[in-house]
Amino acid sequence: MPLNLGRTDSGDLLWVENPFTGVVTYVTDIHRKRSGFQQKTEPRPEYPTHDLDPYRRRCPFCPGNESMTTTEVLRRTTAEGEWSTRAFYNLFPRIPVECTGGRNESYVLVESPRHFRDAATHPDHLEFTAGLGHARFREIVRDAAALSAIAFENPAVASVVVRKNQGRESGASQPHPHTQVIGGGREFSPIAAERRAVEESPDLWQEILDLAARERLVIDEREGCYLYFSPFGAFPRSYEIVDTRVSGRLHQIPTDRLDAFADLLFAALDILGDDPMDYEIHAEQGIPLHAHVHSRFFPYSNIAGTLNLPLQLLRPNP
């Protein structure tokens, strides 16, 4: 089944159906609507200088507080003997342990010992994933792959997903940069839907890449791995990273492919900076290695199951 989309008489994209969920995204001008809410026009207030040590002291993810977390399962150390990433069981399993053979398969990966960014003077001046740099991010993705291998040692685990939430608006419960790796007893439904769609249309992802190329949505390419603005993402600003030449569980992906994928995922995070966002990595047999990245900064409107994409993103110079 080909990608289902509509065009104007002049060939511009008018709507596109998400081939996995059936949700239709319309390309519209609604994002230019003036907000009737009172605008905050005052400049951002100068932050008074805070003593940030108390925040670090009570943060379970900060160095020195290792005893505040559950059992450690992974640690990466620097030449100086300090840890640079650390993983442990999530205190609150995201999937009930009864669904994974009585074992907790929800992991927290602390991405850095740094809680605050350089020159922070306020508790809101938090470190963020893009601030860690792409070399550190490669290590984070490799560590997530290692946690995927640990989860799959449990025969009751059927599927593993890597999930990052950055910022309160995106549902992050801890201010310290971290990622979750979650094993489930059954395949996660978006991955199952993607597998079914690919079984039906083996070239589907290539068609999506062709559409992205035609609409000039491709942002970067590295050795056959692509980063593009998704025309049917779940949020008004969504990005996808796809390598159609590799599939399989995250820990089964060859390191060079995983690094190229991490570099492009990092490029998407770099676009969003410290804005609230989330991403999810989907890696399973039968689907290409890919990630969905969602900015949570822009207004989200879902009317009767449809989504809207800003016209000016597709046709910046009408």
**Min. distance of Cβ 230 from Zn ion in angstroms?**
10
Backbone angles phi, psi at 315, to 5 degrees: -130, 75
CB of 20 to Zn ion, least distance (A): 7
Size of the site for Zn ion (CB under 5 A): 6
Task: Decide whether 115 or 251 has the Cβ nearer to Zn ion.
Answer: 115
Residue 176 lies near Zn ion (rule: CB under 5 A): yes
Does position 59 interact with Zn ion (CB under 5 A)? The reply is yes
Stretch binding Zn ion (CB under 5 A), from 31-39, 44-52, 66-74, 276-284: 276-284
Which range, of 58-66, 123-131, 158-166, 306-314, touches Zn ion by CB under 5 A? Answer: 58-66
Stretch that binds Zn ion, among 41-49, 86-94, 248-256, 275-283 (CB under 5 A): 275-283
**Packed helices 204-214 and 189-200: angle between N→C axes, nearest 10 degrees:** 90
Task: Select from 71-79, 84-92, 247-255, 282-290 the region that touches Zn ion (CB under 5 A).
Answer: 282-290
Kindly tell me which of 59 and 234 has the beta carbon lying closer to Zn ion: 59
How far is 88 from 74, CA to CA, in rounded Å?
7
Q: Which residue is nearest to Zn ion (CB)?
A: 59
Between 293 and 311, whose beta carbon lies closer to Zn ion? 293
**Among the listed residues 13, 16, 24, 62, the single contact to Zn ion using CB under 5 A:** 62
* By the rule CB under 5 A, 282 interacts with Zn ion: yes
Shortest Å distance, C-beta 150 to Zn ion? 22
For residue 234, the minimal CB distance to Zn ion (Å) is 10
Q: Which of 87, 109, 111, 115 binds Zn ion (CB under 5 A)?
A: 115
Residues contributing to the site for Zn ion (CB under 5 A): 59, 61-62, 115, 176, 282
